[in-house]
Amino acid sequence: MLFTAGKNDIAVAMEPQLTPLIESLPSTVPFVGPETLERKRNRPFRARLGANENGFGPAPSVISAMRDAAPDVWKYCDPENFDLKAALAAHLAITSGAVAPGTIAPGNVVVGEGVDTLLGLTVRQYVREGTPVVTSLGAYPTFNFHVAGFGGRLVTVPYRNDHEDLDALLDAVRREKAPLVYFSNPDNPMGTWHEASKIEAFIAALPETTMLILDEAYGETAPASALPAIDISRPNVLRMRTFSKAYGLAGMRCGYAIGAASQITAFDKIRNHFGMNRMVQIAALAALEDQNYLREVVARIIAGRDRIAAIAAQNGLAAIPSATNFVTIDCGRDGAYAANILNGLIERDIFVRKPMAPVLDRCIRVSVGLDEELDLFEEKLAETLAALK
Ligand SMILES: Cc1ncc(COP(=O)(O)O)c(C=O)c1O
């Protein structure tokens, strides 16, 4: 809009001024959604295998609890997430090999709109403009997005043999005196994992003033030996988990962080207290209660991983062993070749994604899906590879 203050004044464009930080940020998003691609293509995908969702969906008991809850959505959620936090604390105390069993209390848990939201809140607590933050090159991009949004300076270390390199992460933390370090175990985008003993050694060696975000979004699909016992006496570790993956509730948005009470209460100073929706509080509670369904789904996910690995092998490609609900396939050549395979699959209505950082970018990443989706993937991968010959 143009404002002219007086007869001799020059017309000046006036508009609200963004902060220099926001002005400086690129308008990129961490992920382009499949819906965006469908709109561009003007055609729906036939197999949705790119976003590490769980096509098996939530338990029937969860859907039924959500149905029952639907008429009550005129009410705001309980801003304290009281019932869900109590249920999570009780569940974790039994299942997580807590260092002192029974010590995990509701005050050690914060619930939020997915791990993604909790990552942003954590970054906000520890990062000012210019603060060094350590992560792996090519690791989960939403974390990087939040670091950029708060003006942090991202310090990255390369993967080693398709695993996050814990020694290099630690070296970078020490060198940079970084107050925050992030990695996921199991890892996205490679699906690889470290055993709990390695994670415990990393935590023991971490400076006391550095907060570790240990993202365990894929914790439920990992071998138990990959998950250290939860020790809420450590003020510099936040473990993050989600209902989006094994529990099949990605669209509902619910994640949680577990940590020392002093750190967890800090979230209350800045979180969106009414950000959770009432229905997801009920859905998450019901999902936690239905551990039989969770076990069934995890078994189906493991079978799906084996199937994707077999499809890769029958096409002369190597699947990287995975502890997640996806399989990353080494396409055996460079990033451009893997991109051609990805595009070939997308043209053939198969939604998959790929890692973008050099070396990792030789791969495509395929989420476990329904049998019929994996049938289509099998058919279209062979077609794509043949067309690229
Ligand atoms: C490592 C990792 N963390 C977090 C998330 C997102 O979790 P949520 O849906 O709880 O925000 C994902 C989703 O793909 C992920 O791969």
Is 80 exceeded by the pLDDT of residue 3? Answer: no
What integer is the mean pLDDT of 179-198?
A: 98
pLDDT for 27: 87
Could you report the per-residue pLDDT of 289-314, keeping only the tens digit for each?
A: 999 999 999 999 999 999 999 999 99
What's the CATH architecture for 60-290? 3-Layer(aba) Sandwich (3.40)
Ligand 1 pocket test: which of 110, 111, 116 has the largest number of ligand atoms within 8 Å of its C-beta? 116
Same topology between domain 34-56+292-388 and domain 60-290: no
Residue 11 has pLDDT above 70, yes or no: no
pTM of the model: 0.95
Å from CA of 292 to ligand 1 middle: 23
* Spacing, Cα 215 to ligand 1 middle (Å): 8
Protein residue whose Cα sits closest to atom 14 of ligand 1: 52
- pLDDT-based confidence at 342, cuts 50/70/90? very high
Ligand 1: nearest atom to the Cα of 117: 11
Q: Which atom of ligand 1 is nearest to the CA of 52?
A: 14
Choice from 118, 140, 253 to test ligand 1 binding pocket (greatest atom count within 8 A of CB): 140
**For the segment 82-126, what is each residue's pLDDT rounded down to a tens digit?**
999 999 999 998 887 666 645 899 999 999 999 999 999 999 999
The per-residue pLDDT for range 222-238, each reduced to its tens digit, is 999 999 999 999 999 99
Domain ranges of the chain: 34-56+292-388, 60-290
| pLDDT of the residue at 2 | 47
pLDDT digits (tens, 9 = 90+) for 129-186: 999 999 999 999 999 999 999 999 999 999 999 999 999 999 999 999 999 999 999 9
pLDDT for 12 beyond 70? no
The overall average pLDDT reported for the chain is: 95
Ligand 1 centre to CA of 8 (Å) is 57
Examine the pLDDT at 1 and tell me if it is beyond 50: no
Q: Whose CA is nearest to atom 10 of ligand 1?
A: 114
The alpha carbon of 372 and the centre of ligand 1 are apart by a number of angstroms equal to 25
Q: Residues enclosing ligand 1, CB less than 6 A?
A: 52, 114-116, 140, 184, 188, 215, 217, 242, 244, 250, 255
Percent share of the chain, pLDDT over 90? 92
Q: What is the 3-state secondary structure (H, E, C) of the chain?
A: CEECCCCCCCCEECCCCCCHHHHHCCCCCCCCCHHHHHHHHCCCCCEECCCCCCCCCCCHHHHHHHHHHHHHCCCCCCCCCHHHHHHHHHHHHHHCCCCCCCCCCHHHEEEECHHHHHHHHHHHHHCCCCCEEEEECCCCHHHHHHHHHCCCEEEEECCECCECCHHHHHHHHHHHCCCEEEEECCCCCCCCCCCHHHHHHHHHHCCCCCEEEEECCCHHHCCHHHCCCCCCCCCCEEEEEECCCCCCCHHHCCEEEECCHHHHHHHHCCCCCCCCCHHHHHHHHHHHHCHHHHHHHHHHHHHHHHHHHHHHHHCCCEEECCCCCEEEEECCCCHHHHHHHHHHHHHCCEECECCCCCCHHHEEEEECCCHHHHHHHHHHHHHHHHHHC
pLDDT at 28: 80
Confidence at residue 320, expressed as pLDDT on a 0 to 100 scale: 98
pLDDT band at 21, cuts 50/70/90?
very high
Q: What is the mean pLDDT of residues 318-337?
A: 98
CATH 3.20.20.70 fits 34-56+292-388, yes or no: no
